[in-house]
Amino acid sequence: MELLQPWSEHLEKTFPIETERQYVVNWMTKKIQDPTFRGAVLVCVAETEGTGRGTFWATFIELLGPWNCSPVAFKALTGEWDNHLQYSFAICNEASDEGDSLSKFTASDNLKRKCDPAPQMMHLNIKSKAQELFYVCTSMVLCTNNQNAMRLNDDSRRIYVTSNAAEAPSAEYFTALHQWIKTPGWQEHLYTYLKRHNLGDWDGFAPAPMTAGKQSMMDTTEGVIGSAVRQIVEEWPSRYISKRQVIACFKIYRRKMDEKFKNWESQVTSEFNKHVRLSDGLTKTKNADLRQKMDVGDDSLRNTPAYLRKYAKADQAQVARQVEWLYFYGIVEDVLEEGGYISA
């Protein structure tokens, strides 16, 4: 390992949190040991530029072969074209969606479509060509300086976020590191190290663990509408709540919503589905025990006990009569006011 000492030191500088560092090494190991492995998308977040993430991943590209790797822009990565999925490894060196919170959420959804941890046959949209069938085994890394690069939620199980070095190393450090990279021989040693590394019981196909960086990204990208929907669901005085009831809380500001947010009702629906996931065909419920009894799939009435449907409908009707709508209008008003969308 002596020849790999510069690489080991740079690994520790780039990924200062030990659990995240070990996850990255295991991820790289799995890719070397099984080239068809895809794994979770690694999102590497650093507060400043010049921390050396690009240099670190350049050493990995050396092992895979540059001809098997592709740089990709964030808009291309999350857009309609799939050119990068023809390669074994794709890296985006500046992941940032600068649109509104809805476009951030859409970008995340588009990315999830392309990042299943297992290899699979996919019809790819190749620019300037007809749609083609490929065996996709692309692993992806996104590097960004933006904590709000994309919209994540509890269901973003295919994305692993690391918190990288807070400060950039000195120029002298990088001079020595690049001098080492130019020295032949380290590639064989690093490849052998990863090829022989024992993964133990590490499962690269399991949902990506929560990290402090991922939680921070979730918190900072909630957005105005997301914040209002979350508060409405939390404060709702019944275990049942419907999408229509949540949208109704926003309609008092319909004109302002139409002006400031594109397709705001779709965004409210997306946020609503984040907090209340299971349906009995009539309502959504926040009660975990009752959810299990109602787990019949999206908007399906099959096998749902009739008494539950009847109870849910009656409960909703009662709540609709008794709910203090002005209170929930106030939640929306406060959030829009705080965001600067309406005047106090």
- Distance CA(251)–CA(261), nearest Å, equals 13
The tens digit of pLDDT for each residue in 5-34 reads 999 999 999 999 999 999 999 999 999 999
Which residues in 278-306 are b (16+ Cβ under 10 Å) and which e?
Answer: bbbbbbbbbeeebbeebebeeeeeeebee
Q: Which of 90, 93, 84 is nearest to 60 (CA)?
A: 90
Helices (H), 36-131: 53-64, 74-77, 101-113
Q: Which of 191, 89, 203 is nearest to 136 (CA)?
A: 89
Phi, psi of 20, deg, nearest 5: -70, -40
Question: Which superfamily does CATH assign the domain made up of 2-219 to?
Answer: P-loop containing nucleotide triphosphate hydrolases (3.40.50.300)
Which residues 6+ apart lie within 8 Å of 136 measured at CB? 38, 85, 119, 120, 121, 122, 124
Segments making up each domain of the chain, as ranges: 2-219, 223-338
CA 152 centroid distance within chain: 4
Phi, psi of 159, deg, nearest 5: -125, 130
Count other C-beta atoms under 10 Å from residue 198's C-beta.
7
Q: Which of 211, 197, 155 is nearest to 43 (CA)?
A: 211
pLDDT averaged per 10 residues in sequence order, the chain, 344 residues = 89 96 97 95 90 95 95 80 90 62 52 78 84 91 84 76 92 95 93 95 92 82 78 79 84 82 81 63 44 39 48 60 78 82 70
Does this model's pTM top 0.75? My answer is no
- Distance CA(29)–CA(26), nearest Å, equals 5
Cβ-contact 40, 117 below 8 angstroms: yes
